[in-house]
Chains A and B, each alone.
Chain A
């Protein structure tokens, strides 16, 4: 089953700079895909298009078989509830505890309390932070904060997980832990798309690699490494 499909997708920003040019790409359910390339190559645009933070200029994007390009504005929240997002800067709310940060993601989509109370501890166990649920973000290390971010993205069990440079601020040892966690989530059946420019991680994982340069796919390799 095709989880994500780009058909002739181009994105041209208002200042006429093309971020993506005629992209054709299929990502199957359960795949783990690295999007690699230098900054400005279109990785972030790719991710923003998937959660419809921006819209493509031409072409169509399908998620789980549904065209999201003609999605009405009031249907966007529904789309985003099925896509978990992880960021380089974690985007945690500093005045809320770990538990509250994760619960927040469920609250705002209207999940009742008993579900929140059941699911948050469960996902915290998955990311290994069960005993830190009452800590505030600034009391945690960078790796732990990223785990909270992953927990928040995954607590709703979305079929797709997008990670934009998730290890960008972390040292190699911590990054490895994060990658193990993402692999586990992928093994459960979640499709994971990760944008990165960290060579060592890509090389260690040996997963599918899609390389972008100036908005064009220049390489798509089944078990690739960073740089051909």
Chain B
């Protein structure tokens, strides 16, 4: 796979790169806006360029552009690592409310992949916090969409459209996010149920209760991991006790020293793919609590590791790699694709370095609601297919 890598340092350079290579009729891969989940050494799964294609990286397009803490908004360039943003926000007692799951990712990658972490259960996902974007479409036009204030109803909501767009509609150069105060005290506990059904019922009970949780994960098959964010230690203890009453079993508290690390591991899916063992495929399924039992039945029979995250809004699935057998790996994914389609659940392959080229170029699995609308949008923003195709219709 011979491809040329371009690393523009400015917005204008980014636009010029797209325009130049567009004129030459060369296809272009927005590497910087694809889910660069493992940071600056891009996951091989993202190296989908064919001979002659250009890889566009936002690696040099970094830095915070505007951040006034009292405004609770932050604007940064797309290549800024999530970790750097988080550090800057932490200094002012703030954080990214959608809890981006992979700290090594870039801002652009996190937005374009549309990935939220366990914390989304409290305040919402990526779509709920993207206020404005500066981006370049397939024509090479520099576009400024949205507004850098927390509320705006002017013009079409292009910033939301770009959430989860995987570099198919444009390359992100700059993003403005709404941020929130970081909870002062966080306390977590495990609730271990004897079986899947009881744990699932517990999850549903918590979702229907007025309890405001900062984290609610269904791990392994019968354990709920719950997080509470409180203004003070004093208010935290009675809330934890109340959780136990709602669930009918006592909490197994997690020590304060381990609390942060436990959730960071969840965010990075270390329970499914331990560090250094990211060889298989990692898949995000957009889910709702009612569908958990159906999906669980399929995953259990396939023996794939899974976790129901963010109160059941997401399932994370790890499909292990069959060593040196790409055909078998692809077959596993195709089986999962069919199952998800039959359940009408949309999904995304987040890691999958070992997969065949077709799957790496089209990381979406299962149900694809609105593809007819998306194809029309693609024809406006990237009519010549300068950016990667949607792979959702023969004409795209």
Q: Do A and B come from one complex?
A: no
Please give the residue numbers on chain A whose beta carbons come within 8 Å of chain B beta carbons, in ascending order. Answer: none
Please give the residue numbers on chain B whose beta carbons come within 8 Å of chain A beta carbons, in ascending order. Answer: none
